[in-house]
Amino acid sequence: MLYFGANFPPTVQLFKMMKFQGSHILSVSQFDRDAIAKILHVSAQMAPYASRQKRCHVLDGAILSNLFFEPSTRTRVSFGTAFNLLGGFVRETVGQENSSLSKGESLFDTAQVISGYSDVIAMRHPKMHSVEEFAKGSTVPVINGGDGANEHPTQALLDLFTIQSEMMHFNKGLDDLNIVLMGDLKHGRTVHSLSKLLSLYNNVKVTMVAPKALQMPDSVISTLSNAGHEVVVTDTMAGNLSCDVIYQTRIQQERFASKDEADLYRGHFSLNKSVYQKYCQENTVIMHPLPRDSRPEANELDTDLNDLDNLAIFRQAQNGVLVRMALFALTLGVEEQLTEHEKPVNWFTNRNN
Ligand code: NCD
């Protein structure tokens, strides 16, 4: 059914505690622990389909519009892959210059039109809160793929999924976690969203390592400290990296006034094997939302870490498919129908070996 004008279907709303079906996913503030547990549980159920042991075309015929008005590789492709794996079609618009936003169309109008063509929309945009503004004009669920320096909820959920699965090897969970966030914490939307999610767990210690000018916004720090967690704010690596998980981030050059200004901070907190061995614990898990800036002047996560089992960055990116599949299944209300749509995989694949 298509909806025109301002008569939005009553199912498309932002809920505090979640009824997933028909809901937008705009901010991690929507979730409580139960909602997250549900998402992580459904994500794990997606593993056999993502690894091609079985297929599940429960969204056969559904249409995702993937609107990416800012550069992206893994978020855009994994949203599309996730939807395809569930049997749906994907339409993409990439870059503002290729869309009618460059002709002065409002986000509201674009949303009215595109939601008429789609069952669900994933969107990334450089302006903070733009995805929320867009969602007001949409008649179908909108999933935030990153709105400027504000939030990146699906990344934070996949980060949490990754932390949970990595910590399982050490008989730990999301409670009592000791995590270091390092790099550009001011502009990094992934660490904003992740910190807010971590505040929901018990007895978390978060150490924020960043140049003073690029420290975490106060509002994010107070979300953690108001929930009773220990927060250490520092601009020194020495003595501060002993943790379960170190989460490195990129200097977000696109959020600075100029490249020269971003260059001032590049390479300050490079993590390489010698730093890791000197300051981290033996089993510290290394995460990064990617892309890592591997240019010599930045080298924020050295390739000499590539042979460490605890480097989780590619497992983390892979988990993005599972979590995005789960979010599509939940927002489109098919999470209970997965097994009845299962079929064998007929083509050659060595993915599950
Ligand atoms: C991040 C982003 O776009 O915020 N990338 C991603 O989605 N995996 C982090 C970054 O670009 O540095």
Distance 348 CA to ligand 1 centre (A): 32
Q: Give the phi and the psi of residue 56 in degrees, each rounded to 5.
A: -150, 95
Closest Cα to residue 183, out of 209, 159, 207? 209
pLDDT at 351: 79
pLDDT at 353: 57
**Which among 75, 248, 295 is the best mutation to test ligand 1's pocket, defined by most ligand atoms within 8 Å of the CB?**
75
pLDDT at 4: 31
pLDDT at 26: 98
Residue 79 to residues 86, 270, 316, 326, 342, Cα–Cα distance (Å) = 11, 30, 14, 11, 21
For the chain, counts of helices (H) and of strands (E): 11, 11
In sequence order, what are the residues at sequence separation of 6 or more whose Cβ sits closer than 8 angstroms to the Cβ of residue 230?
204, 205, 206
Digitized pLDDT (tens) for each residue of the chain, 353 residues in all: 233 333 334 444 444 446 999 999 999 999 999 999 999 999 999 999 999 999 999 999 999 999 999 999 999 999 999 999 999 999 999 998 888 898 999 999 999 999 999 999 999 999 999 999 999 999 999 999 999 999 999 999 999 999 999 999 999 999 999 999 999 999 999 999 999 999 999 999 999 999 999 999 999 999 999 999 999 999 999 999 999 999 999 999 999 999 999 999 999 999 999 999 999 999 999 999 999 998 888 889 999 999 999 999 999 999 999 999 999 999 999 999 999 999 999 999 887 65
Residue carrying structure tokens 């169309």: 105
Which ligand 1 atom sits nearest the alpha carbon of residue 190? 4
pLDDT at 350: 86
pLDDT at 16: 45
23-35 in b/e form (b: 16+ CB < 10 A) is bbbbbbebbeeeb
Distance 25 CA to ligand 1 centre (A): 17
Amino acid at 340: E
pLDDT at 2: 30
pLDDT at 304: 96
The residue nearest atom 12 of ligand 1, judged by CA position, is 250
Distance 190 CA to ligand 1 centre (A): 7
**Which among 70, 155, 182 is the best mutation to test ligand 1's pocket, defined by most ligand atoms within 8 Å of the CB?**
155
pLDDT at 3: 31
Residue carrying structure tokens 């669900």: 120
The residue nearest atom 7 of ligand 1, judged by CA position, is 75
> Around Cβ 245, how many Cβ atoms within 10 Å?
22
pLDDT at 352: 62
Say yes or no: CB of residue 74 within 6 Å of ligand 1: yes
pLDDT at 1: 29
pLDDT at 166: 98
Say yes or no: CB of residue 189 within 6 Å of ligand 1: yes
